[in-house]
Chains A and B, each alone.
Chain A
C-alpha cells in the first residue's frame, strides 16, 4: 500500500478545536518547508500518485468477494443467482453519498468509463453498469421465471439477454459517458452563470436520455436517474424533506442533480403511505433542528460576507454557529410550546435572536438579513398567521393543547436548568446510603443487626425500584420515592410524642427503614435527569 507524500498530523480527539489546531500546525509546517524539500517531493510524486482508480477497483473486488462468499454460504436453501448489479450499485452508492454529489459522481462515471482495460474483477466482462432491478435486488429470478436451480455464479451474468430485461435499469458505458459530459457541461454552465439554474441544465440531457429508454412502463413521472433518492415524491415534498442532509450549503445548488437511476425500482412513496392524513402518532415526534425555514442559513450567509482569515477559525466556525442556533431554536420551540395563546409577543421576530448571534461575532460588514417575506411579516395584524407559521415550523399541529400551568412551570428554566431537573436533582441528593441515615435518626455507631436489616431493605428496594422502572412509566418511579421520604420524616417527627422506650426506638427504626427504601432509587433519578433536553428524543 503506497503511503502518499505530504505533511501529516495526528488526530487525538474529534473536537473541532483540536482538529483545527492540528491542521493549522500541518499547514505551518508545509509553509515553512524548504524549496529543495518541495522540489524533491514534486519529483517523487511524478512517479508516485495516489492510485484512485485502482483503489476503487480494489474496493469493488473486496465487496464483490464478500458478497459472493456470503451468497455461497447462504446458497444451501436458496439458489437464484445474484445480479452483479448489487455490487456495482453498491460501489456507486458509496461513492455518491449526499455530501459529494458533484464531484464523486463524475469521478465514478470517469472511473467506470476508464476502467475498460481492467476487467479483471469477478463481476466479469461487463459492458454496462447495472443500476438495479425494478423488483428489488435478488428478485429478478422470480419475475423473469429464471431457473431457480442456477448456480450462484457470475457465469450467468455474462448472458446478455437476461441482463437486458425490461425491468432493470441499466447504464451502458455510452450512457455513462453521456451523463459525464452532461455533468461537465453543467459544471461549466454553473461557473458561468453563477448560481443560476444548474439543476435544469443538468437535468435535461439526463432526462431526454431516460425518456428515450422508457419502454412504455406506463409511469407518469419519468424515473429520474437517482441512485440516492428512494422516494419518488414530487418536488415540493422534497423541498421540505431535504434538509435532513447536513450539507445545507450544498442544498440549494445540488438538490436537483445527480439522479443516475432508481436503485430499487420500488413504487412505494411516503405520500401513499400517509394517505393524506397528518396525524399518525408516529409522526407526533418533536422536531429536530433542521432549519426548515432556512433562516439560520441565510443569517450565516450574511455573516460569511465578512469572512477573512482571522475570523474563519473562531467566530465563523460553523460548528459553533450551529450549536448556538440550535440552542436559540430550541428556546423558541419551548416558548412556542408553552406560550401559544399569547401570540407573537414572546416569540418575537426571529431576527433579533439571529442578529444577536451575529453581533457576538463583531463582524463589521454584517447586515441583518431582510425579513423573510413569506412567514414573518412584521405587521402585527397578522399575528395569528405568524403564530400558525411558528407552529408549523415546530410541527405542533392544529390540535396542540397548551400544557397545564404546572407542567409549564416545570419546563421553565432557571439559568440553563429546567425546574423539573432541579427537583430530580433534589431527589438524587436526598438519596443517601445507610450509614448516613442512622446519623439522621440518632446514634453514630451502628449495631451489626441494624446494618444487616438496613442492607437487606436496601437491596430489596433496589430490585423493586428497578422493576418499577422497567414496567411502568418513568413517572411512577420518580414520584413514589418522594412520598416515601415524606413518610419517613413523618415518623421521625412523630416519634417524640410516644413515650421514651421501645415505642420510640421502633418509630425511629421504621423511619430509618423508610428512608433507606426511598434512597435505593437514587441512581434512577440521576440516570433520568435532563430527559427533555430536546435532542434525540426518539433515541431513548
Chain B
C-alpha cells in the first residue's frame, strides 16, 4: 500500500480569471517542494533499512539497533515530546480559517461519481497498486544494494537528482506555466509510465550489471542507479502533473475526499495484490528476468498486460482532462 498520490495541491476554484495565474503557481511550487522533501525522507528511511539488513548479514551489529539499544530512547523520546508540542500548538493556534465547521454539501458523494476525472483517478490507483505495490520494497532496495559503489557516492547521486535536478525541473516548469498553465499536466501525461519503467530496471535484473559503461563495475553501478533515480524523478514529476490536473478541475474538498478514497482503495488493492497478483512473491513474470534472452522475457503475457495497464492511465487522463478543464482557452 502506498500513498499513490502523494501530490495534492490545496485547490480553490479559479473562476477569477484576472489573477488566476498567481495562486496556482504559488501552491504548485510549494506542493512540489513538499513532495521533493518527502522523497528525501523516504530515501533516508530506505537507507536505514538497508543498512540494518546489511549489518545483520555481516554480523556487525545487533539485529535492530534502533529499537534494541537503550540509548535510542534518548533520541526518540525527545522526538515524541517535540511532536506533542507541535500538536498542541496546532490545536490552539491555527489561523481562523481552520476553525470553521465543515460545510454541508448536498449529494456530495454522488457528485463524485459523475466526475470522470475522479473515477479515472481511482482506476489509476487500482491499476498501479495491483501491479506495482508488491515489488515496492525490492525496487527501493536496488538503490542501496550495490556492492561496488560506496554508499556515500550513492548518497551524492540521490542529492543530485532529488535536490538539484528536481529544483531545475521546478524552475523550468514554473517559468513555462506562466504562459501555458496546461503544460505540466500534458507533460505528465506524455511521460507514460515511469514508475513501471523504474521497477523494471530495478527488479528485473537489467539494472544489475551495466558493462558498457567505461570505468568498470563502479561506474556501471553508478550509472544503473542514476537511471533508476532519473526514472524516479520522472515519476515524481508525473505525480505533480496529475496533481495539477486535479487542481484545475476540482475544489479543495473534492481533492481531499478523492485522496482519502484513493488511499483506502490503494490499501485494499495492495492487500489483494499480495494475495493474488502475479508478482506477489517477487518480480515474477511482470518484470521478467531477461538474462535468458530478451525474447524469452518479452514472451511472457503478464509483462504485456501490466505494461498495457500502466500505459492506458495517461491516455485516460488526457481524455478526461480536456473535457473537464475549468479554464479552457
In angstroms, Cα B30 to Cα A12, docked, is 26
Instruction: List residues of A (488-540) whose CB comes within 8 Å of B's CBs.
Output: 488-490, 492-497, 500, 504, 507-508, 520, 522-524, 526-533, 535-537, 539-540
Q: Is B94 in contact with chain A by the CB < 8 A criterion?
A: yes
A474 and B52: CB pair below 8 A? Answer: no
- A429-B70 contact given A15-B181, A439-B48, A475-B91, CB 8 Å threshold: no
B329 and A406: CB pair below 8 A? Answer: no
Interface size on B, residues (CB 8 A): 99
For the A-B complex with A319-B19, A471-B102, A475-B90 known, give 11 more contacts whose Cβ atoms are closer than 8 Å. A425-B34, A442-B67, A443-B64, A451-B270, A479-B91, A486-B83, A486-B87, A523-B3, A523-B256, A523-B260, A524-B260
B89 and A528: CB pair below 8 A? Answer: no
In angstroms, Cα B96 to Cα A537, docked, is 11
A486 and B260: CB pair below 8 A? Answer: no
Instruction: List residues of B (68-86) whose CB comes within 8 Å of A's CBs.
Output: 68-70, 72-73, 75-77, 79-84, 86
What are 22 of the A-B contact pairs (CB < 8 Å)?
A13-B182, A14-B17, A15-B179, A18-B180, A407-B95, A427-B90, A428-B34, A429-B34, A440-B48, A442-B52, A466-B260, A473-B101, A475-B90, A479-B94, A480-B87, A494-B73, A508-B67, A523-B8, A524-B260, A530-B30, A536-B12, A540-B253
Q: Is A233 in contact with chain B by the CB < 8 A criterion?
A: no
Binding site for A on B (CB under 8 A): 1-3, 5-13, 16-23, 26-27, 30-31, 34, 37-38, 41-42, 45-46, 48-50, 52-53, 63-64, 66-70, 72-73, 75-77, 79-84, 86-103, 136-137, 141, 178-182, 251-253, 255-257, 259-260, 262-264, 267-268, 270-271, 274, 327-329
B263 and A462: CB pair below 8 A? Answer: yes
For B20, give the chain A residue with the smallest CB separation: A14
For A439, give the chain B residue with the smallest CB separation: B49
In angstroms, Cα B12 to Cα A373, docked, is 38
In angstroms, Cα B22 to Cα A326, docked, is 11
Give the residues in chain B near A454, CB-CB below 8 Å.
1
Contact of A526 among B8, B72, B96 (CB under 8 A): B8
Q: Is A41 in contact with chain B by the CB < 8 A criterion?
A: no
Stretch at the interface among A31-39, A188-196, A294-302, A415-423: A415-423
Contact of A482 among B77, B90, B252 (CB under 8 A): B90
Total A-B contacts with CB atoms under 8 angstroms apart = 294
Q: Is A212 in contact with chain B by the CB < 8 A criterion?
A: no
Chain A 32-50 against B: per-residue CB contact (8 Å), 1 yes, 0 no? 0000000000000000000
Instruction: List residues of A (458-496) whose CB comes within 8 Å of B's CBs.
Output: 458-459, 462-463, 465-466, 469-476, 478-483, 485-490, 492-496
A149 to chain B, nearest CB (A): 37
Q: Is A323 in contact with chain B by the CB < 8 A criterion?
A: yes
Give the residues in chain A near B50, CB-CB below 8 Å.
444
Stretch at the interface among A252-260, A389-397, A430-438: A430-438
Contact-residue size bin, chain A (C-beta under 8 Å from the other chain): 35 or more
Give the residues in chain B near A533, CB-CB below 8 Å.
23
In angstroms, Cα B257 to Cα A101, docked, is 44
How would you classify the secondary structure of chain A's contact residues: helix, strand, loop or mixed?
Answer: helix
A495 and B67: CB pair below 8 A? Answer: yes
B327 and A14: CB pair below 8 A? Answer: yes
A540 and B22: CB pair below 8 A? Answer: no
In angstroms, Cα B86 to Cα A410, docked, is 11
- A532-B102 contact given A442-B67, A459-B264, A522-B3, CB 8 Å threshold: no
Give the residues in chain A near B76, CB-CB below 8 Å.
489-490, 492-493
Give the residues in chain A near B87, CB-CB below 8 Å.
479-483, 485-486
B217 to chain A, nearest CB (A): 24
Give the residues in chain B near A535, CB-CB below 8 Å.
12, 16, 19, 23
- A486-B80 contact given A426-B86, A435-B137, CB 8 Å threshold: yes
B260 and A433: CB pair below 8 A? Answer: no
B86 and A423: CB pair below 8 A? Answer: yes
Give the residues in chain B near A418, CB-CB below 8 Å.
95
In angstroms, Cα B88 to Cα A451, docked, is 32
